[in-house]
Structures are given as C-alpha cells and as structure tokens.
Structure 1
Amino acid sequence: MVKQRLAYNWYAAMVAAGCMVLYGFDAAVFNTVQANKQWLAWFDHPSGELFGLINTTYSIGAIIAGWFIAGPTADYLGRRWAMGIGCFITIIASFVQAFAPIHKVGVFIFGRVLIGIGQGIALTAGPVYIGEITPSEIRGTVMSFWQLFYSVGSFIAYWVNYACGQHTKTLGEWSWKMVVLFQILVPVIIMLQLPFLPETPRWYIQNGNRVEDATAVLRRVRDDEQEVQDELLAIREAIVFEKEVISGSYWALWKDPSIRKRLLIAFVLNMGQQLTGQGTLNSYSSTIYKKVWTNVNTINLINALNATFGIVFTLNAVWTVDRFGRRFLFIVGGIGMACCMLMVALIGLETPDAKGGGKSEPVGISIVFGLFLFIFFYKPSWGATTWIWTAEVFSMNVRSQAVGMCSQMQNVAQVIFNQFFPTFYNNCGLKSFFFFMSANIVLVIFVWFMVPETKRVSLEEIDVLFGGQNHIEKGGDLLNVEDPHHAHARELDMSGREKGVGVTYVEHPAREIIDE
C-alpha cells in the first residue's frame, strides 16, 4: 500500500512536470527554424532586429501571464485548471504558428505571444503543484524532474528537426511546420491526465477550509494516517496565521519583510539563470555553431545530441539536491560554468580559422565539448535548482503569484539578451563568452552571502530562514493547539472506520475552526 501511494505521488508530480516540456520544446523550436531555409524564405528572410523580436515576443507573452494572469488563475481555479488552461492555449498557439500565411510574419509573432501566455500560466502552476503535493524530504528530488522535462522538450524538438532536415527537398515548408506542430503532443497528453490528478491539499484549505477534501488527497499520497494528520494540522495552522496576521491577499508580497527578501533573492536567482549564458545558448546555438561548422545538418545533429546529454546531466540533480543541498549545487555549478565559458572563448580565439570559413574539425569538436561540459554543470544546478528553490520558499498566501513573478524574471532577462546578443555576438564573437564567465562568478558570490539552505524544510516553516515567524507555531497559538507540530492520536468512533488520528481545536474568536 505504501508503494502504491508513493508511486501515485510520483505520477501526479510527473504529469505536472510535463508542463516544462512545453518550455523546452518552444525554446528549441525557434533555435531550429532560424537555420531552416524554407522558414526563412516563407517569412522573407527576417533581419537581425526582427529576428530578435520574433524570439522576444514569446517572453513578452510569458511575462504578462506570469505577473498578472497565472497567479490568480492557479489560486482561484486551482493548480490543475491552470495547467490545463496553459496547455490548451499552447495547442492553439502551435496551430497559429504552423499555419501562418506566407510572408505574414506578424501572424507567426502573434502565435509566439500566445504561446508565451499559455506557457506562462502552465509554468507557474506546475512547480507549485509539485511542491504542495510532495513530502518535504523528497521535494527537491521530485522537483529535479522539472528541469529534466525541459531537456525532454528540447530533445523532442531537436531530433524531430534533425529528422525533418534530412528530407527538406521532399517536405518543403513542412520541414519546419512539422517541428512546430509536434509541440501539441505533450500538452494533449497532460490535459488527458489532469482529470485523474487530485488538487493539492493546501489549495483546498486555502479555498474554503475544505478539510475533508484535503484529508482525502493526503491519504492518497502519504504513507500513514499520523503523517496525514500532522501535515494537515501544519497546513491549517500556517494558513490561518497567514490570513489573520499577515494578509490573505497578494499585498503580503510587499507588507511582509521576510517575503520581500525572498522575492528579491528569487528575482536575482531567476535572472541569474539567464546570465549564466544558457538561455542565450539555447536560443542561438545554431548561430554560434555557424561560426564553427558550415554544414547545417551537422549543426542540427549537435543540437540534438546536446539535448540528449541534457537529459542525462539533469539526472545528477536527482541524487544531489536533497543530499548536498541547494547552495552546494548553485556554487559548484556556477564555478564549473565560469570555467567552461573561459575555456570555449580561449579555444575559439587562440586558434586560426580554417580555409573556407569556420574552424578546423578538431577545434570545432573542442568548442562543442566545452559547451557540452557547460550543460553538465548547468542542468543540475542553475537549471534545476533555481526552479526548486523558487517553488519552495514562499508561503501559501502568495506562493502562486510569487512563483509566477519570479519565474518570469527569467524571461525579463531573456528579452534583454535576445535583443542584443545577435549584435553583441556579431561584433565580439567568442569574446562575448567572457561576459558570461564574469556573470557566473558574481552569481556564486551572491549565493554564498545571500541564499540560505532550504533542504528538507517544510513549506510551512520555511519563513524562519528569512527572518519571518514560524507559521506553524503561530497558527497553533491562534487555534489553541497544545502541540502545533503533531496531531494527537485518539480512537475513532464506532462507525466502523479504521483506526486513525485526529485533532480537536478549541474555538478561537477570530476564526471558526471545524472539528473534523
């Protein structure tokens, strides 16, 4: 029975993690089509500035969704509904992009905006759902698959593109349209499974104090009744405290000093994820490889292999994040990425160009090895751990809104870099990698002094790490619970239910608490 509950918990979390496939696929799609001659001809060979705009419009849609739509959607309709709505919009947007009329790049751009909105909603609800339904002792391990699924999305896109690229003469414009349309595959799969997933217990308590529904969910994903009642008690205590003492609205983001501190740190971490250079590399690796390799099929193959190794490298987070902690991965990953950026820049700058353009094959292989080594350090650290840390540090009253805002700071940074990087790279070439090297060093210093360890801390007690009050203990005082951390065992009535535990609350004038 224990194995069934644990397996079901993993199943529910993995469905939610599938939302990240959407993000990985879309980032790879634009990277692949920009090297496709049929796509370039279909939209009249966009210039460098228009090129950047096409990529940037996705981020604009995602930012709008993350800051103004995703949080309220996940809080009022539920995490499952938010994931479903985001997936549905992504499907519609994929069709808009794939069937944009010839020479009508504006329609393709509209599809990019729309897909950003859909993914902005889904990418907010997904990590929140995983964090709220998963036990704290394995939360980091389960959330590691969030970044792994990003690599799965890139893997699908790059290999589909590689296959289509082998038959461009036969497929014509369908060589890029098929790549775009494959994006509907995963959101359809997610939508079909959402009816079989429970809503999170924390959402049920937050919305109407639905104790019976929350208890039923916990009994489906936890090992024993004592564990169910302990977690239920902690959730109720924390939410009562947040609503009555802090704020039941998003104003707590600005009113509570400890939440403001978390918000600012998470902003830096999420923008830092793009400052590492990964976001730019993922969007413009084809452009970078053109300086090294002259054959498009070779570039497509390298991108596909990069995505494949990305899946393998992300798995390192599964066994490290709950063992060594979030800070360890941030610091080691940042140092490793800085060294890789330095290595790639020096190899490229200190070796001569081959005849006919590009680099010699040994030099090209060395550069590709350096970039593959970069993702070895990036994937389990600033790739996976940034999402893990962001999804687990905020209290229930602001969690969805805060995660939406913080995660979209990645796109704020990406908007800036995607606009100027093509010009930056054209003017500076591989010297631009020194910038990313320096950024990684600065990020390591920031983590060392500013980011606390959150490994295996329950969601309801994480405020203490940032100078806030313990929401469980303070909520227990409001509810007049003698032991705020443990439900008291008692025999159940004679109705025939199996033995369990329960909690009796003394009525508090500030809020009516229903004895279960």
Structure 2
Amino acid sequence: MAKLQGTRKGAFRAYFFGFFVCLAGFLFGYDTGIVGGVLTMESYKRDFGYTDNTTVSAVMVSLQNVGAFLSALAVFPVSERYGRKKTIQVAMTVFCTGVILQVIPSHSLVCFYIGRFVSGLGLGSATAVVPAYNAEQAPKEIRGMLGSGMQWLFALGVMISYWVDYGTVQGIGGSHSAEWQIPVGLQMVPAALLGFGLIFQKESIRWLAKKNRNEEAWEALKWMRADDGPEVKAEFNEIKAGIAEEVRASEGFKKRELLEPANRYRLGLAFGIFLGQQCTGMTALAYFGPQFFKLLVGSGTKNLLITGLFGAEKFITVGIYILFFSEMWNRKPTLWISAILMSICFIIVTVVNKTTPAPVDNQTTSAGIATVAMIFITNSIYQFSWGPLPWPYAAEIFPNRIREVGTSVGVSTQWLFNFLFSLTTPYMIKDMSTYVFLFYAALDIVMAIMVWFFVKETKGRTLEEMEQIFNSRAAFDNEAARNKALEIESSGSEDRFSDVHVIGKHADIDGK
C-alpha cells in the first residue's frame, strides 16, 4: 500500500472520502448484477406477462444504459456551474425516482422501462462526476487507489446483487412479487446514503479554486489533509499555479481548447480506455452471468449459485489489487499484458467447449467445470487491470479547465458501449453460443495493441504535472511552483491567496 504523507486524520479523511463517493460505483454494480437474476424469476415473468425473453432482456438493460449515456455526456455544464456535490445529490434523487417507477405494482413493462431510463439518467450523471470529484480531492500518492475504488465498489455491488437474487429465489420463490421487487427496490439504499452523506463532505478543492473562491478552497484542502503545514500550502499554491497557467495558455479560447493537440489526444484516450473496458466482455458477463454459465454447464439454479461465486471472486480480487498493487504497478504495462492474458483465456474456453461433449440432461461435466474455472481466472485478470484502471486514468489525465468534459466523454463512452453490448449480448448468446468468447478474445488483442502505442504512463504524478506529460501549451515547472511556495512559507509570508504567475517553464509567485 502506498505511503501517504501528512497526518493520520488527513489520511483517514482521504481514504474515507475516496471510497465513500465510490458508492456510485456500488450502485452501478448492484444495478448491473440484479438484471440477469431478475430476468430468470418466474414472478417477474408472471407479473409482466411476456414470452420473448431475449427482447425483454435486451431492452431492460439497454434502456437504462441509454439514459446513463445521455446524462453522462450532458452533465458536465451542470457540474461546472453548480459544483460536484450538488450535481451528485440531484442525480441520486433522479435515480431513486426511477427505482420507484420500477417497483410499483403496475404490471406494465412500459412503466418499468420508463423507470429504467429515469434511473439511468441519475446513474450516468453520478458515474461521470464522481471520478473527477475523487481525483480533485485525492493526494497524488493514493489517487490511483481511490479512483480504482469505483471498480471495487462496483464489484461489491455486483456480488451483493447476485446473492440477493439467489436469496430471494430460494427464500420467497416465484409465488410472490416480492421475489423481484426486493432486489430492485434495494437500489435506493446506497443512492440515499450517497446523496445524504455528501452533506457532510467538502466541495471539490480544485473546482472552488477555479471559481476564484480561494478562501473556501484553502479551507477545504486544509480540512481534507487535516493539516495546514508547509507541504499543504505548497500543494495549494501548485493548484493555483496550474489553474493560472491554464487560464493564461487558453486565454481567448473556450470550446476551442478541446481542439488543442494535447487535449484531443487526451479525449481520444478517455474514449479508448473506456471502450476497451467494455470490449473485454466482462461487463456482459456481469449483466448476463446466468445466461453465459448456462452455455458451459447447462440449465438449473446452479447458474445463480455460480454467478454468486463469480461476484464474490470479483470483489475479492479487485480489493487485493487496489490495496496492494494499484500504486505499485504502472498503468500502461498492466493494461496491455492483461489484455493478452484475457484473450488467451477466452480462446481456451472456446476450444474446450467446442471439442468436448455438451452437458446431458443438464448434468455438469468436467469440461464444463474447467471452462467455468477459466472464466473465473479471466475475471481475476480483469479485476487487476481493465476493471479498476480506466476510472482513475480518465479523470487524472485532464487539466482542471476541461476535466468535466473529459470525464464525461470517457464515462459516456462506457455507457454507450455498455448499451451496445447489453443490447446485442442476448442475441449473440443465442446465435453464436460459446463463439462469443472468441469474439471478445479478438477484441482483447486489439486493445493490447492500442495500449502499447497510445497510452501514456501517469502513475505517481500530480494532476498539474499531466500538462508536461501530454506536452500541453499550459505546461509549467511544477517543482518550481512548489519550491517557491515553500520558500515563501519559510520566509514567514502569510499571503496564501496572492496571484500566481507561471510563464513557460518558470514559476513566479507574488511577482517575485
């Protein structure tokens, strides 16, 4: 685990805040996980009276993803104007409204679909804002760990949803509507916790500084770090220097800033890394776990049990990565090596499945067990790489002025391809059988190649240093800014809020 400088209280606050806001990831995971199980429940089929399982599966998942895509893409002006806290709180209110529309006993698929779309609007907004909010508050030493918390909490949500599905099927059975209403309705619990809990948290330090609310920004930073010593003052001056240089370098620009080569490159990376996350096939497995495992071991309630174990493994492995390896391994090699390993695993699954006898009378075969084990290994590889890494990476590579836009592009990409894969996966399972794994194996190879050529390493660098990594017009000498701030502190100056001027590679604070 990375060593964090500063006070113990500051470390506690950083960890607590980072993982708390990642409740948005838990909500995403829980919602993802309940779908496959609910669609297998007899009570759900009876209450809504449908016969086309494939179409209902595709529409039920994809409608929420459409809402999430639209809101994730459109939320950045709201977040920019009103701040991160308020935006997330409103998003959770919208989400709960959608859940209520889903659980009321309307017996109407249209009403349920509307609820899915509305809850998607809230979920997409939250997942787009939280990575930026988290990155802007986190110390650089643990920014990757805290940002990866989105995937850890996502995995926890998926795991709990699987076991809730399994528990209601075993405990209630298909005789009562509560069998599906309980799993769906429980989504409101983490949403309410996140919405109300943010009342007690500080607004984004960098957002406040960008709005020239320097006193509030300083108080927020001082509270988050539980310290007001020289290092914290130096960090604050580096933040101000970075924002000042962004303003200077982009003066006269607005939306045209996005056309700067460095920013176009970063937008492409945010798009590509979240596209790659969906191309692994693991999100499709999270949505439709029981349906995938049916291909390997046959029908029966054992598929819900296997899916529950799959979710538990997901949570445990991503937790191990975040706690022990997230700040040890570099981002780039982790991504391309893992993509190759996942491709190999999927190829093995396909070959074994196609060269061994299929289950007879739904009796699990040794080959079926072997392919399930290989899927579990693939899942572990994903949780050590493509699952957690896109969240902090897409948030940390952008400058303050366009971080809302950048993270919105990245997360909306995630929702867009989440929608496309969730819409097509039921049909792919139906028409391609286990060849669907070969399809994802090919995509993994493409991803490895793209990472090798285009992804830049960012581990251990401050957000302000990203300007140098991507050769931006707003690049400046970060160390000079920090050292100058420390010199001012050692000389006894108390003027924390004086203007910061950074020209080219030289930092000039207080005009000195």
Give yes or no for contact 1:275–1:436 (8 Å, CA) kept in 2. yes
Task: Quote the residue 1:32 is aligned against.
Answer: 37
One-letter amino acid matched to 1:97: Q
Task: Quote the residue 1:497 is aligned against.
Answer: none
Cα distance, 1:155 vs structure 2: 1.6
Q: Which of 71, 78, 85 matches 2:90?
A: 85
Task: Quote the residue 1:101 is aligned against.
Answer: 106
Q: Which of 52, 55, 61 matches 2:58?
A: 52
One-letter amino acid matched to 2:45: L
**Cα distance 1:245–1:423, how it changes in 2: closer, same or farther (>3 A)?**
same
CA deviation profile, 1:368-402 (whole Å, cap 9, x unmatched):
21111111000120010011111110111111121
Give yes or no for contact 1:239–1:475 (8 Å, CA) kept in 2. no
Task: Quote the residue 1:286 is aligned against.
Answer: 290
Task: Quote the residue 1:400 is aligned against.
Answer: 404
**Cα distance 1:84–1:420, how it changes in 2: closer, same or farther (>3 A)?**
same
CA deviation profile, 1:40-95 (whole Å, cap 9, x unmatched):
22222252234312211111101110111x21222111111122112222211111
- Shifted more, 145-154 versus 415-424: the winner is 415-424
**Cα distance 1:189–1:506, how it changes in 2: closer, same or farther (>3 A)?**
closer
Q: Which of 335, 340, 343 matches 2:340?
A: 335
Provide the secondary structure at the position in 1 that maps to 2:183. helix
**Cα distance 1:105–1:253, how it changes in 2: closer, same or farther (>3 A)?**
farther
Task: Quote the residue 2:461 is aligned against.
Answer: 457
Provide the secondary structure at the position in 2 that maps to 1:227. helix
CA deviation profile, 1:209-265 (whole Å, cap 9, x unmatched):
111111111112235521221111111122122233316876155332101111112
Q: Which of 233, 246, 265 matches 2:237?
A: 233
**Cα distance 1:390–1:380, how it changes in 2: closer, same or farther (>3 A)?**
same
**Structure 1: gaps spanning 5 or more residues:** 494-499
Provide the secondary structure at the position in 2 that maps to 1:323. coil
Task: Quote the residue 2:221 is aligned against.
Answer: 218
Does residue 62 of structure 1 match 2:76?
Answer: no
Does residue 467 of structure 1 match 2:488?
Answer: no
Provide the secondary structure at the position in 2 that maps to 1:291. helix
Count of aligned pairs:
497
After TM superposition, the structure 1 = structure 2 runs for residues 352-501 of structure 1, keeping only pairs within 5 Å, are: 352-356=357-361, 358=362, 360-473=364-477, 486=486, 488-490=488-490
CA distance in 1, matches of 2:274, 2:240: 30
Cα distance, 1:270 vs structure 2: 0.6
Give yes or no for contact 1:487–1:501 (8 Å, CA) kept in 2. no
Provide the secondary structure at the position in 1 that maps to 2:386. helix
One-letter amino acid matched to 2:101: V
Give yes or no for contact 1:338–1:438 (8 Å, CA) kept in 2. yes
TM-score normalised over the length of structure 1: 0.90
CA-based RMSD of the aligned residues comes to 2.5
Does residue 161 of structure 1 match 2:172?
Answer: no
Does residue 347 of structure 1 match 2:352?
Answer: yes
Give yes or no for contact 1:20–1:147 (8 Å, CA) kept in 2. yes
**Cα distance 1:276–1:169, how it changes in 2: closer, same or farther (>3 A)?**
closer
One-letter amino acid matched to 2:59: L
**Cα distance 1:360–1:307, how it changes in 2: closer, same or farther (>3 A)?**
closer
Give the fraction of aligned pairs with identical amino acids, expressed as a percent. Answer: 23
Does residue 20 of structure 1 match 2:13?
Answer: no
Provide the secondary structure at the position in 1 that maps to 2:489. coil
Provide the secondary structure at the position in 1 that maps to 2:296. coil
CA distance in 2, matches of 1:296, 1:84: 41
**Cα distance 1:449–1:211, how it changes in 2: closer, same or farther (>3 A)?**
same
**Cα distance 1:242–1:347, how it changes in 2: closer, same or farther (>3 A)?**
same
After TM superposition, the structure 1 = structure 2 runs for residues 270-349 of structure 1, keeping only pairs within 5 Å, are: 270-318=274-322, 319-349=324-354
**Structure 2: gaps spanning 5 or more residues:** 1-5, 503-508
